[in-house]
Amino acid sequence: MPQSLPTILVPGLNCSPRLYAPQVPALWRFGPVTVADHTRDETMAAIAKRILDDAPPRFALAGLSMGGYIALEVMRQAPSRVAKLALLDTGSRADPPEAQERRRTNIAAAEAGRFDEIIDAQFPLYVHPGRANDAALKSVYLAMCHDVGAQAYVRQQKAIMGRADSRPLLPSIRCPTLVLVGAQDEATPPALSEEMAAAISAARLVVVPDCGHLSTLEQPEAVTRALIEWMNS
């Protein structure tokens, strides 16, 4: 029987364990699966340290969007502990000024009690255009946002704004790495994934057709299949 390998899944901004509900049963066959808590700190370094403090000695690590930024910070702090890395719908660059300005606006709105307004407006940006009116998918997304809540959302936005440029880190990554992105991801476009995959020597790039930013929920079977191949690599 193959040796068990624990997996740690890191959700995205405003996302909860529901993000990975379709994938957990398949990954559980390889070993224990944990969904990391990324809601309690307002710097990437502190979030990654908290995850590492609770993590087993060696593990597979997957993160989507903000979860990918956190996964890269984990690689910066403890590369020898990560046996496999999956970067889903994310990027390695620092936050550009225009994105920081949007985040400051959203932070102010959340602190002013307009959290529901923010999350309602953001849903269409995170999914394939053909799913902008998908009531079931939107229901899951809004439930995740309320799992996180406005105060943790503000902390997460501050952490994202302050993240480091991880491009210099990429060539040092040696473990088997999956880089996956939805073909129609507008939040973190495929060019960002192509850039990461080109810089990581052990990377495999997967572009999921008919898919926006929330790939694990929009195209769960395709993403699960890619993650199983990654765990078997």
Instruction: Determine the Cα–Cα distance for residues 15 and 69; give it in Å rounded to an integer.
Output: 14
In a domain? residue 138: no
Domains in the chain, number: 1
In a domain? residue 128: no
Sign of CA dihedral 131, 12, 100, 116: positive
In a domain? residue 146: no
pLDDT of the residue at 2:
64
Which residue segment(s) compose the domain that 171 sits in?
7-95+157-232
Instruction: Determine the Cα–Cα distance for residues 137 and 151; give it in Å rounded to an integer.
Output: 24
Rounded to two decimals, the pTM is 0.97
* Cβ 118 vs Cβ 109: under 8 Å: yes
In a domain? residue 100: no
First to last CA, the chain: 16
Instruction: Determine the Cα–Cα distance for residues 83 and 161; give it in Å rounded to an integer.
Output: 28
Domain CATH number, residue 166: 3.40.50.1820
pLDDT of the residue at 128:
98
Instruction: Please state, as a whole number, how many other Cβ atoms lie within 10 Å of the Cβ of residue 191.
Output: 10
In a domain? residue 114: no
pLDDT of the residue at 1:
46
pLDDT of the residue at 3:
83
In a domain? residue 140: no
pLDDT in tens, the chain (233 residues): 468 999 999 999 999 999 999 999 999 999 999 999 999 999 999 999 999 999 999 999 999 999 999 999 999 999 999 999 999 999 999 999 999 999 999 999 999 999 999 999 999 999 999 999 999 999 999 999 999 999 999 999 999 999 999 999 999 999 999 999 999 999 999 999 999 999 999 999 999 999 999 999 999 999 999 999 999 99
In a domain? residue 116: no
- Backbone φ and ψ for 132, nearest 5 degrees, come out as -60, -25
In a domain? residue 105: no
